[in-house]
Structure 1
């Protein structure tokens, strides 16, 4: 249905922007490269503006091209919303939901959401885009996603906050780590222990660097990454610690695989986790189910993790 509602030139511009070249877009769409190139050049002639910078190693959207990509994504989302609305009018449960979330949720809330949809609402199709909070807020405002779950979302005029809660900063370690002897800790106590850390490009690390630059100057991480899953794998081996929020390891904390030691340092502002929708657009039944599940299950997992006693076995 989406293919018939969205103009082909918009689909082709979006595909080239995503894949980096006409040839790559051709392979992804199963459409001849000459046809894609012809439609893009026709669109450039009509609008009297180049849509791509053409380089030997690929193509990059210009400002005009980015505007067309946004239009294409919005049109795609509107087509999916229409399909969902028509299914609901016919009394059928199904449709598509576009969710923007963070990498730290990938093997926690998002896995549980997928399992729940598959078992209870198999006709709902979920598209998850992993992105930074600022980008998630922008795409919600542009109408290319319907639900956002992220830290410290920038507040925009048309956002409606479905749910929000404050999280704790702390030190995450394996049960056998020396720091696990106490139920709380401080940066001074963590000082000198081997660390892994989030990449300096990620919001949590940027906040910590701004407030406590001395700590990372004195304790250069043995590994930094923008993959929370990679960092948690290192933590489970027991030799390193990580300073972050409790949500980054919620499934592991709930199971007791990792421990969370709240930081007692003054001056730490609690990060906020929120589930947000666009107040200007009516939410489909499918999107409502997704947002309600995320809120209920996250609240449940936070309660479980915070109630988990610290195990001192073998310490």
Structure 2
């Protein structure tokens, strides 16, 4: 298969349209169509379903797209590693993470890594949980860190752990003096929550509905920093994994109390990379640091008396 044909094919798979791919590649649409037809003839299988709303990859097309994505990234990696030989450790690490991971944990990891590798640059995308996995699978990011409720095909899970939910609030909140609390006890107070795109909110909604409880947050937001700050002020209790509010607890702005139902509200925290891809040295080094730090992370400390 010619590289140019693969490049044309991959662009159609990404955009879902011959004309959109041609525009991005700055070539005629007829040239893109010819290359797709040649690939289909060479492989003896249709690569796309032609629909009124665009081109959708067939199963064969998805297999080829996965191969083409890896091939493109491997080529880019070789070029980058050759450049790094004469650039004293320069590199670029592309990250896709959920918002909670972007509040404090990932910035702290980037800072720690750059102390030892100051010429390594980072591109950080903050995305909904499912989109993190999609970006890893399609090669838009090198490392994804996300909460997942199910197994995902097309990615390699480098590390995962079941993470229970805790209740977090200002240290002087009455519940923070308890050893454990139930959901019913928490819901007797105002709560704050992320919207339904967050995995923790979907689990809370499902659990409350099953138990006949009503979850009516005083503040419902797409922004976890707003929720954390509102709880810091004493306005509400929030539900979260410890890693998402790590700095706020460590700095004394929030305290934690375990939920009796914490195990029921467990999610899988995953560190993902593209399946079958060998990572550049700088990216692998950062991945190793993140996994070591997550392994060392214990439960939140008890609230101060």
TM-score over 0.5 for the alignment? yes
Secondary structure at 1:106 match in 2: helix
User: How many Å separate the matches in 1 of 2:105 and 2:262?
Assistant: 30
- The equivalent residue for 2:193 is 197
Matches within 5 A, 1:72-83: 80-83=76-79
User: How many Å separate the matches in 2 of 1:243 and 1:269?
Assistant: 10
- The equivalent residue for 2:290 is 294
> Structure 1 residues 150, 219: closer, same or farther in 2, change over 3 A?
closer
Matches within 5 A, 1:126-205: 126-152=122-148, 154-205=150-201
Secondary structure at 2:266 match in 1: coil
Listed as ranges, the gaps of 5+ residues in structure 2 are: 21-26, 36-54
CA contact (8 A) 1:209 1:216 kept: no
Compute the displacement of 1:296 (Å). Answer: 2.1
Compute the displacement of 1:80 (Å). Answer: 4.5
User: How many Å separate the matches in 2 of 1:103 and 1:266?
Assistant: 21
TM-score (norm 2): 0.73
User: How many Å separate the matches in 2 of 1:131 and 1:101?
Assistant: 6
Listed as ranges, the gaps of 5+ residues in structure 1 are: 23-34, 44-60
* 1:209-233 Cα distance to aligned partner (Å, 9 max, x none): 1122277963411111121111101
> Structure 1 residues 154, 237: closer, same or farther in 2, change over 3 A?
same
Compute the displacement of 1:285 (Å). Answer: 0.8
Compute the displacement of 1:201 (Å). Answer: 2.1
User: How many Å separate the matches in 2 of 1:278 and 1:200?
Assistant: 27
> Structure 1 residues 166, 267: closer, same or farther in 2, change over 3 A?
closer
> Structure 1 residues 71, 129: closer, same or farther in 2, change over 3 A?
farther
Secondary structure at 1:306 match in 2: coil
Alignment partner of 1:251 out of 234, 247, 252: 247
Compute the displacement of 1:200 (Å). Answer: 1.5
- The equivalent residue for 1:110 is 106
> Structure 1 residues 62, 100: closer, same or farther in 2, change over 3 A?
same
- The equivalent residue for 1:310 is 303
CA contact (8 A) 2:96 2:125 kept: yes
Q: Which runs of 4+ in 1 moved over 4 A?
A: 70-80, 88-91, 214-217
